[in-house]
Amino acid sequence: MNLIGKNITYKPDNQFHLNDVSFDFKKGNLYTILGRTLSGKTTFLKTIAGLLNPDTGELFFEDKDFSKIPVWERNVAMVYQQFINYPHLNVYENIIFPLKQRKLSEEQIKMDVEDALKTVGLVGFENRKIQELSGGQQQRVALARSLAKKAKILLLDEPLVNLDYKLREQLREEFKRIFSEGLSQDTILIYSTTDPQEVMELNGEVIVLHEGKVLQKGDAKEIFENPKNLKVAEISNDPPMNILTGSKGLDKLNFENISIKLPPYLKDLKSQNYYFGIRASEIKLDKEGEEFEIELAEISGSETLLHLKKGNSKVIALIEEVMNFKIHEKVKVKFNENKFYVFNNNEELVSSPYGVHNG
Amino acid sequence: MHKLYTFLKYTFITLWTVFIVAPFLWAISTSFKDFQSVNSKVTYIPWLDFEPTLEGWRVLVKSPARGGVDIVEPYFNSIFVTCTASLISIILGTLAAYALSRFTFKAGFVRNNDITFFFISQRIMPPIVLSIPFFIFLSTIGLLDSLFGLVVVYIVLLMPIAVWIMVDFFNRVPKELDETALIDGCNPYQAFYKVVLPNSIPGLIVAGMFCIIFGWIDFFFAFILTFTEVQLLPVKVVALNSSITPWWSLSASALISVAPLIIVAFVVERYLSKGNLSGALK
Could you say which residues of chain A have pLDDT below 70?
Answer: 1, 182, 356-359
pLDDT of residue A154: 92
CA of B192 to nearest chain A CA: how many angstroms apart? 12
Per-residue confidence (pLDDT) for residue A51, from 0 to 100: 92
Is B185 in contact with A102 (Cβ distance < 8 A)?
A: yes
pLDDT of residue B242 exceeding 80 = no
d(CA B274, CA B176): 26
Mean pLDDT of B154-162: 93
Which of 1.10.10.10, 1.10.3720.10, 3.40.640.10, 2.130.10.10 would CATH assign to domain B72-280? 1.10.3720.10
What local confidence, expressed as pLDDT, does residue B279 receive? 42
- Taking the CA of residue B226 and the nearest CA in chain A, the distance in Å comes to 44
Q: What is the pLDDT of residue B276?
A: 45
Q: Above 80 in pLDDT, residue B37? A: no
Which strands form A3-10's sheet, in the order they lie side by side?
A: A18-25, A3-10, A56-61, A64-65
In tens, the pLDDT along B80-89 reads 999 999 999 9
Give mean pLDDT, residues B64-76.
Answer: 84
Task: Tell me the sheet residues that pair with A219.
Answer: A205
Distance from CA of B195 to the nearest CA of A (A): 7
Cα(A115)–Cα(A176) distance, integer angstroms: 17
Cα B259 from Cα B263, distance rounded (Å): 6
Choose, out of B175, B184, B204, the residue to mutate when testing the contact with A (most A CBs < 10 Å): B184
Contact B195 A102 (CB under 8 A): no
The CATH class given to the A3-229 domain equals: alpha beta
User: Rounded to whole angstroms, how far apart are CA atoms B19 and B11?
Assistant: 12
**Chain B residue with minimum CA distance to A149:** B184
Name the band, by pLDDT with cuts 50, 70 and 90, for residue B273.
low
- Percent of chain B whose pLDDT exceeds 90: 47
- Taking 60 as the threshold, does the pLDDT of residue B278 lie above it? no
Helices (H), B125-200: 127-140, 147-172, 175-183, 188-190
Q: So what's the pLDDT on residue B64?
A: 78
pLDDT band at B119 (very low <50, low <70, confident <90, very high): confident
CB within 8 Å: B183 and A80: no
What is the pLDDT averaged over residues B57-77? 84
pLDDT the model gives residue A358 = 47
**Which chain B residues have a beta carbon less than 8 Å from that of A145?**
184
Q: Which chain B residue's Cα is nearest to A148? A: B184
Contacts of B83 (CB under 8 A, 6+ apart): B212
Rg (CA), chain B: 24
Q: Which of B106, B175, B180 to mutate to test the interface with A (most CBs of A within 10 A)?
A: B180
Q: Which CATH architecture has domain A235-351?
A: Beta Barrel (2.40)
On average, the pLDDT of chain B sits at: 87
Please tell me what DSSP assigns to residue A262: P
Identity of the residue numbered B224: I
Shortest Cα distance, chain B CAs vs residue A147, angstroms: 11
User: pLDDT digit string (tens) for B39-57?
Assistant: 777 777 778 777 888 888 8
Nearest to B180 among A70, A84, A102 (CB): A84
Per-domain boundaries in chain B: 2-53, 72-280
Nearest CA-CA distance, residue A148 and chain B, Å: 11
Lay out the sheet containing A188-193: strands in order across.
A76-79, A153-157, A188-193, A30-34, A205-210, A213-219
List CB contacts (< 8 A) between B280 and chain A. 87-88, 131
pTM score: 0.82
Cα(B135)–Cα(B149) distance, integer angstroms: 10
**How far A328 CA lies from chain B's nearest CA (Å)?**
43
Best to test chain A binding among B172, B183, B278 (most A CBs inside 10 Å): B183
Q: Using an 8 Å CB-CB cutoff, list chain A residues near B195.
A: 86, 88
Of the listed ranges A263-272, B34-43, B260-269, the one predicted with least confidence: B34-43
Contacts of A78 in chain B (CB under 8 A): 179-180, 183
| Strands, E assignment, chain B | none
* Eight-class DSSP state of B194: I
**Amino acid letter, residue A28:** G
Q: CATH 2.40.50.140 in chain A, residues? A: 235-351
Q: Report chain A's terminal Cα–Cα distance, integer Å.
A: 31
Query: Please, what's the b/e burial string for A62-101 (b: 16 or more CB within 10 A of its CB; e: otherwise)?
Result: eeeebbeeebbebbbbbbbbbbbbbbbbbbbbbbbbbbeb
Asked if B177's CB is within 8 angstroms of A86's CB, the reply is yes
Q: What is the predicted pLDDT for the residue at B101?
A: 93
Task: Work out the minimum CA distance from A266 to partner chain B, whole angstroms.
Answer: 50
Cβ–Cβ contact A51 with B under 8 A: yes
Query: Is the predicted pLDDT of residue B99 greater than 90, yes or no?
Result: yes
Please state whether the peptide bond connecting residue B52 to the residue before it is cis, i.e. omega within 30 degrees of 0.
no
CB A86 to CB B174 under 8 A?
no
pLDDT computed for residue A357 by the predictor: 53
Q: Quote the pLDDT of residue B280.
A: 42
Element holding A233 (H helix, E strand) = helix A230-235
Residue span(s) of chain A under CATH 3.40.50.300 come to 3-229
Checking if the pLDDT of B97 tops 80, the result is yes
Residues of A in contact with B189 (CB under 8 A): none
| Percent of chain B scoring above 70 in pLDDT | 96
Q: Are A127 and A90 in contact (CB under 8 A)?
A: yes
Residue type at position B157: L
> Contact A101/B185, CB-based, under 8 Å?
yes
Query: How do A283-300 and A303-310 pair as beta strands?
Result: antiparallel
- Using a CB-CB distance cutoff of 8 angstroms, which residues of chain B are in contact with residue A76? 183
Q: Is pLDDT of B29 > 80? A: yes
Q: What are phi and psi of A215, to 5 degrees?
A: -90, -35
Cβ neighbors of A246 (< 8 A, separation 6 or more) are A253, A254, A255, A256, A273, A274, A276
DSSP state of B107: B
| Shortest alpha-carbon distance between residue A99 and chain B (Å) | 8
- Residue A350 forms contact with B (CB below 8 Å): no
Model ipTM value: 0.85
Cross-chain Cβ contact B190/A101 below 8 Å: yes
**What are the DSSP calls for A76-98, one per residue?**
EEEE-SS----TTSBHHHHHHHH
Q: Among A66, A81, A84, which would you mutate to test the B interface (most chain B Cβ atoms within 10 Å of its Cβ)? A: A84
